Amino acid sequence: MEAKYNFADRFGDQVLRCSKCGLCQAVCPVFGAMLRPSYSARGKMLILKEVMDGTIELSDELIETLFQCTICKSCFENCPSGVDVPEIIRQTRRDMVQIGSCHPAFEGMNEVLKNHTNIYAEDEPEDFERERNKKAKYVYFIGCVGSYREDEATMSTLDLLDRLKVDYTLIDEVCCSGVLEDLGYQINERLARKNIDLILATGAKAVITGCPYCSRTFNSKPQYAELNDKGIKIIHVTQFLKGMDFGVKTDKLVTYHDPCDLGRHCGIYEEPREIVRKIAPRFAELRHNRVDALCCGAGGGVRGAYPKNSIAMARRRLQEVEEVGADVVLTECNSCVHNLSNAKLRKQKFRIYNISQFINELMEGTE
Amino acid sequence: MDETVKKALLDIVREENFSDSLIDLISDSYDASEHKHRPDVAVWPQNTEQVSAILKLANEYKVPVTPRGAGTSLSGTTVPVQGGIVLDMLRMDKILEIRVEDRLVVVEPGVVYDQLEKALDSYGFFFPPDPASGVVSTLGGNVAVNAGGLKGVKYGTTKDYVLGLEVVLANGSVLRTGSRCMKCVSGYDLTKLFVGSEGTLGVITEITLKVNPKPPAIATCTAYFDDMADAGSAISETMRSGILPRTLEFLDDQCIVALNQGTDLNLPEVAAMVLAETDGFTQEGADYEMDKVIEVFERNNARGITRAYSPEEAEHLWTARKSFGGVITRLKNNFIVDDTTVPISKLPEMLTGVKAISKRYNVPIATMGHLGDGNLHPNILYDGIDPEEIARVRKATADIFKLGLELGGTLTGEHGIGLAKAEFMPLEHDEVAMEVMRSIKRLFDPNNILNPGKMGLEV
Amino acid sequence: MEIRGYNMPEDLYYEQNHFWVRDEGDVLVMGMDDFAQILAGEIVYVQLPEEGKILKAGKRFAKMESGKWLGKVYAPVNGELVAVNEELETNPGLINDDCYGKGWMYKIKPEDKGELDNLMHTHEELDTWLAEDIEKYVKE
């Protein structure tokens, strides 16, 4: 008997393998912040089991949990039964979109990207006082959050690249649209084409980006395969900066937050730390780090659809920063910086920066 | 459910702590067992006053109330089989006091076990029971079920550490039991009545726990046995060799096969593997006890005895035991885990008996457990779709219970009766005991609203 | 008073980015107006700079966000930021619930209260302004 929904077809055996042990509750950021069983990976699997056995159908009533997952992969890393909840959620969201049951914020994002260049439908990015679309060795791809929400951080990173005399250019970039694949939609081909054309036109041999989500999208999605085919490398800025000497140090106590998209999704844990240790001899790990890092709460579309819960998750992560007594939290993902900064309380005196931004501040002597 | 009741609940806990949404009703239908049933509503009380108001309301309208912590019960203890209200205690999650000078802590029921352990660490203290679910299970749940754990051999179980409780009774009145003293024999020991009562006599809203100084020294070893009965003897002999290890864990051949299939541990495919751990305030002490353990093991034909000489090596030795949960569902997609417990001297017979049952019904059973206190965990594996297989599994389960009882054991060492073993209660408790238990239940809960349908106490 | 369906109290002064200012003697209180809070949707974040920050009229000194929108907050007058509404840190939705009362955002010690004359105040000014902005921003 063929399954009614694609998620059941592709992942039914995994959904059934969930033994309901509940261990995911220890690591799920949504559950951890909201303490609501329906939000944990187990809750989602129990609901999908009932869909599979016909007790309920996919419907609007399920949106609140099926669309509230940051796709951080912590559950999968800790599931004794190896249930790939993130993949199952991605497919289920596609099924939900097909039947017309999608979170309005995600539907909205898909629509916005049909008609605009970025997820915020804002048409005037900061110009960052730099030329775009030149011929150069590297393209620096900022990403939507960096362009429209964390412009200060982006400016700092670009200043750093200038100090290091990197031959790069910005482009009239548009949203990589990779996020749509997490929301139940697909990459916007028009936008992908635009990015590819702009990148190729610069003659660059590599694209550096501060956004690990964009770098993952360029590296793994077929719509961007042409870049790989033409030998263009995609590098996250931490991979680019690794090995360089900046000649600056701080005596502040510094810690590092692993972005999910760089860490669990790409396995990049040590390169950023190498850079951080070079500039910050006083380094402390957060309680949950590397593969166990606690998600900041912004991913999987959650910051757009459930902003208050998203910020509550970030606040939980920041408690770990407080615990360790750090003066500075470094990361390299604008989405993390954005969500963590929004969540930081006034009484919390530590500062939050991208690594590249912080190095620039040190070099400028303004940190 | 009456709209009046829903509205009244909303008034008590407010919108953000109330749900009758489908997603919550579904999630709260389940725990970690095979049982399920939908509730009508879920509420998250913030304090004792709210719990009291909720129970008073439920008692008046005769609405069932099922308390819930992390929902990791293996016995169906927290499945709302008669619908009604799920009382989710997770948002009462504060550690109220840590007073090592009085050797106690006071916690709200929603505090996760691990959360307490981490808080105690900096004081050099620990809370011994150490249930395997400790990363997620809550102290309210641990107390309600009298949870055991990996260190039960030496340190006993949850009940040995509960000094006092605050419990809301079915009519909403708030009862305080016990004392903040290390010793108290004033009045009836009501505390012990509620510990392990599985939410059927009252809802726990505050817990005072005794804590221990944490021994810094540990010694760990693993050993293999070609004969399962040897492993059983090794364990029971260790327990009378004049020392007290803190952990004695057992994995049978089926467990080893599963581990080799699901990991790259490459364990020797023997009849049994045993892990032993001792602790002490000096390394000499811990090592002395470990020497004795190893002597006993050698006398019982153990081979491949590996001893850890560093924390990293110890962690490595624990890998097999800790990985087992992860490999079970790769063999078959369903399993029932029981916790039949027998007197220590009966272990060899029990282990052999379980093997025979597995053969008799042609149902794979991977047995592991805290054999140091006679607590087996037979994992009965099955596919869950074939009704004929399910029937055989039920028979095998029943036979394991009967065997355990015949050997002077008990239906459950630590997971509780819940739904899973309810029908077998009369096999373990005679009519006098059953009637006394029912009377107590009737006394505390005349309208049978507190977690009804559990523990086989239905009149 | 109600203007074109929005609550715009007449004792307040209004800055063109839809922030109101109330004269409380030594100090000016500032917040977001009804038109903007409705358009923005539920406010989820308000930046609360350190007290003592020097404000330059027309210059951005803070930012705020709703689920879908990032707003820049511009100083309506020259002065010094002397207080912020700390409630907004954990309950930014107060701006939606009560934008003129509990949802106040900043308190400013003005350099020269005369600068209030640069802001909109009369019924006529507000009506014209709202008409324009409704046209611009309120999509059918």
Question: B416, exposed or middle or buried, with CB in 10 Å at 0-12, 13-18, 19+?
Answer: buried
Residues of chain B in contact with residue A22, where contact means CB-CB under 8 angstroms, are 31-32, 70-72, 133, 136
Instruction: Say yes or no for a CB contact (<8 Å) between C89 and A307.
Output: no
pLDDT exceeding 90 applies to what percent of chain B?
88
Residues of chain B in contact with residue A42, where contact means CB-CB under 8 angstroms, are 27
The two counts, helices (H) then strands (E), for chain C are: 4, 11
Q: Is the pLDDT of residue B59 over 90?
A: yes
φ, ψ of residue A101 to 5 degrees: the values are -110, 85
Cα(A346)–Cα(A169) distance, integer angstroms = 37
Chain A: residue whose CA lies nearest to C50: A346
Q: Which pLDDT does position A6 carry in this prediction?
A: 96
pLDDT exceeding 90 applies to what percent of chain A?
93
Cα(B24)–Cα(B86) distance, integer angstroms = 10
- Last residue in a domain, options B169, B186, B213: B213
Torsion angle of the four alpha carbons B313, B315, B320, B325, in this order, in degrees rounded to the nearest 10? -170
Cα(A240)–Cα(A362) distance, integer angstroms = 18
The shortest C-alpha distance from C50 to chain A (Å) reads 8
Asked whether residue B222 falls in the same domain as residue B209, the answer is: no
Nearest to A274 by CA among A217, A314, A333, A332: A332
Nearest to A206 by CA among A180, A237, A182: A237
- The residue segments making up the domain with residue B148 are 91-213
Position B126 in a domain: yes
Cα(A286)–Cα(A322) distance, integer angstroms = 9
Nearest to B22 by CA among B34, B11, B38: B38
Q: Where in chain A is the domain with CATH 3.40.50?
A: 138-241, 254-364
Strand, coil or helix: what is A206?
strand
- If you average pLDDT over every residue of chain B, what do you get? 94
Asked whether residue B158 falls in the same domain as residue B260, the answer is: no
Percentage helix, strand, coil for chain B under 3-state DSSP, each rounded to 5 = 40, 20, 35
Asked whether residue B79 falls in the same domain as residue B106, the answer is: no
Chain A: residue whose CA lies nearest to B114: A26
Q: How confident is the model at residue A297 (pLDDT cuts 50, 70, 90)?
A: very high
Pairing outcome for strands B247-252 and C60-66: unpaired
Number of residues in chain B: 459
- Token digits for A48? 């999908």
Cα(A107)–Cα(B172) distance, integer angstroms = 47
Nearest to A253 by CA among A278, A226, A281: A281
- Mean pLDDT for C115-126 is 91
Interface probe for B, chosen from A1, A17, A23, A309 (most Cβ of B below 10 Å), is A23
Q: How confident is the model at residue B142 (pLDDT cuts 50, 70, 90)?
A: very high
CATH value at residue B67: 3.30.43.10
The shortest C-alpha distance from C68 to chain A (Å) reads 7
Asked whether residue B250 falls in the same domain as residue B201, the answer is: no
Q: Which pLDDT does position A366 carry in this prediction?
A: 59
DSSP B64-78: -EEEESS---SSSTT
Single-letter amino acid code for the residue at B410 = T
Position B455 in a domain: no
Cα(C104)–Cα(B249) distance, integer angstroms = 62
Q: Is the pLDDT of residue B322 over 90?
A: no
- Last residue in a domain, options B42, B67, B90: B90
Residues of chain C in contact with residue A122, where contact means CB-CB under 8 angstroms, are 70
pLDDT in tens, A30-79: 999 999 999 999 999 999 999 999 999 999 999 999 999 999 999 999 99
Q: How confident is the model at residue A252 (pLDDT cuts 50, 70, 90)?
A: very high
Chain B: residue whose CA lies nearest to A44: B27
Position B451 in a domain: no
Single-letter amino acid code for the residue at B427 = L
Number of residues in chain C: 140
Asked whether residue B310 falls in the same domain as residue B285, the answer is: yes
What are the strands, taking DSSP E only, across chain A? 138-141, 168-169, 206-209, 233-236, 254-256, 328-331, 351-354
Q: Which pLDDT does position B265 carry in this prediction?
A: 87
Complex ipTM value: 0.93
Position B453 in a domain: no
Cα(C71)–Cα(C84) distance, integer angstroms = 17
Q: Is the pLDDT of residue B109 over 80?
A: yes
Q: Which pLDDT does position B384 carry in this prediction?
A: 74
pLDDT in tens, A69-107: 999 999 999 998 889 999 999 999 999 999 999 999 999
Instruction: Say yes or no for a CB contact (<8 Å) between A38 and B91.
Output: no
Instruction: Say yes or no for a CB contact (<8 Å) between A50 and B26.
Output: yes
How many CB atoms neighbour CB A246 within 10 A? 16
Q: Which pLDDT does position C1 carry in this prediction?
A: 84
- Mean pLDDT for C91-115 is 95
- Token digits for B364? 């794979």
As a whole number of Å, the CA-based R_g of chain A is: 21
Instruction: Say yes or no for a CB contact (<8 Å) between A307 and C67.
Output: yes
Position B426 in a domain: no
Cα(A326)–Cα(A335) distance, integer angstroms = 21
Is residue A19 within 8 A of residue A63, CB to CB? The reply is no
The shortest C-alpha distance from A342 to chain C (Å) reads 6
How many CB atoms neighbour CB A235 within 10 A? 17
Interface probe for A, chosen from B72, B93, B117, B329 (most Cβ of A below 10 Å), is B329
Burial C63-94 (b: 16+ CB within 10 A, else e): ebbbbbbebebbbbbbbebeebbeebbebbbb
Instruction: Say yes or no for a CB contact (<8 Å) between C65 and A305.
Output: no
Place of tokens 């039964």: A81
Q: Is the pLDDT of residue C140 over 60?
A: no
DSSP B25-78: HHHTTB-SSS-B---SEEE---SHHHHHHHHHHHHHHT--EEEESS---SSSTT
φ, ψ of residue C130 to 5 degrees: the values are -65, -40
Cα(A210)–Cα(A240) distance, integer angstroms = 10
CATH class (in words) of the domain with range A138-241: alpha beta
Chain A: residue whose CA lies nearest to B86: A37
Instruction: Say yes or no for a CB contact (<8 Å) between A346 and C86.
Output: yes
- Mean pLDDT for A308-336 is 97
How many CB atoms neighbour CB B6 within 10 A? 16
pLDDT in tens, B335-362: 889 999 999 989 989 999 999 999 999 9
* Reported pTM: 0.94
The CATH number of domain A6-102 is 1.10.1060.10: yes
Nearest to B248 by CA among B286, B291, B277: B277
Q: Which pLDDT does position B335 carry in this prediction?
A: 87
The shortest C-alpha distance from A335 to chain B (Å) reads 28
Of A105, A122, A149, the CB nearest to C67: A105
pLDDT in tens, B381-422: 998 778 899 999 999 999 999 999 999 999 999 999 999 999
Cα(A147)–Cα(A126) distance, integer angstroms = 7
Asked whether residue B200 falls in the same domain as residue B226, the answer is: no
Is residue C71 within 8 A of residue C38, CB to CB? The reply is no
Cα(A330)–Cα(A238) distance, integer angstroms = 12
Q: Where in chain A is the domain with CATH 1.10.1060.10?
A: 6-102
Residues of chain B in contact with residue A48, where contact means CB-CB under 8 angstroms, are none
Place of tokens 């208050």: A308
CATH value at residue B307: 3.40.462.10
Position B390 in a domain: yes
Q: Which pLDDT does position B459 carry in this prediction?
A: 55
Cα(A216)–Cα(A182) distance, integer angstroms = 12
φ, ψ of residue B233 to 5 degrees: the values are -65, -40
Instruction: Say yes or no for a CB contact (<8 Å) between A105 and C44.
Output: no
- Token digits for C108? 């400013």
Position B411 in a domain: no
Pairing outcome for strands B272-280 and B217-225: antiparallel
Chain A: residue whose CA lies nearest to B113: A26
Instruction: Say yes or no for a CB contact (<8 Å) between C44 and A120.
Output: no
φ, ψ of residue B63 to 5 degrees: the values are -100, 130
Position B79 in a domain: yes
Q: What is the DSSP letter of B373?
A: G
Strand, coil or helix: what is A77?
helix
Asked whether residue B57 falls in the same domain as residue B97, the answer is: no
Cα(A85)–Cα(A27) distance, integer angstroms = 13
pLDDT in tens, C28-81: 999 999 999 999 999 999 999 999 999 999 999 999 999 888 999 999 999 999
As a whole number of Å, the CA-based R_g of chain C is: 14
Asked whether residue B197 falls in the same domain as residue B226, the answer is: no
Domain count, chain B: 3
- Token digits for A367? 């940190």
Nearest to A347 by CA among A310, A322, A366, A317: A322
Size of interface A-C (CB pairs under 8 A): 29
CATH class (in words) of the domain with range A254-364: alpha beta
Question: Chains that contact A by 3+ CB pairs under 8 Å?
Answer: B, C
- Last residue in a domain, options B154, B180, B213: B213
- Token digits for B457? 């106490």
Instruction: Say yes or no for a CB contact (<8 Å) between A26 and B26.
Output: no
Pairing outcome for strands B212-213 and C6-7: unpaired
Q: How many CA atoms lie within 13 A of A304 on its CB side?
A: 24
Q: Which pLDDT does position C68 carry in this prediction?
A: 81
Q: Which pLDDT does position C139 carry in this prediction?
A: 66
pLDDT in tens, B226-273: 999 899 899 989 999 999 999 999 999 999 998 888 888 889 999 999
Residues of chain C in contact with residue A304, where contact means CB-CB under 8 angstroms, are 67-68
Asked whether residue B399 falls in the same domain as residue B270, the answer is: yes
Asked whether residue B364 falls in the same domain as residue B374, the answer is: yes
Residues of chain B in contact with residue A62, where contact means CB-CB under 8 angstroms, are 22-23
pLDDT in tens, C16-28: 999 999 999 999 9
Is residue A209 within 8 A of residue A143, CB to CB? The reply is yes
User: In the structure, do chain C and chain B come into contact, i.e. share 3 or more CB pairs under 8 Å?
Assistant: no
Asked whether residue B80 falls in the same domain as residue B114, the answer is: no
Q: Which pLDDT does position A2 carry in this prediction?
A: 66
**Alpha helices for C31-122 (secondary structure H):** 34-40, 87-90, 94-97
- Token digits for A41? 């990976």
Asked whether residue B264 falls in the same domain as residue B197, the answer is: no
Q: What is the DSSP letter of B249?
A: E
The answer to whether B44 faces chain A, any CB pair under 8 Å, is: yes
C interface residues, A as partner, C-beta within 8 Å? 42, 44-45, 48, 65-68, 70, 86, 89-90
Cα(B48)–Cα(B204) distance, integer angstroms = 9
CATH value at residue B113: 3.30.465.10
- Angle of helix A85-98 relative to helix A41-52, nearest 10 degrees? 50
Place of tokens 């760990």: B220
Q: How confident is the model at residue B432 (pLDDT cuts 50, 70, 90)?
A: very high
> How would you list the strands of the sheet with C106-110, edge to edge?
C13-15, C19-24, C27-32, C106-110, C79-84, C54-55
Is residue B55 within 8 A of residue B446, CB to CB? The reply is no
The two counts, helices (H) then strands (E), for chain B are: 15, 18
Question: A267, exposed or middle or buried, with CB in 10 Å at 0-12, 13-18, 19+?
Answer: exposed
- If you average pLDDT over every residue of chain C, what do you get? 93
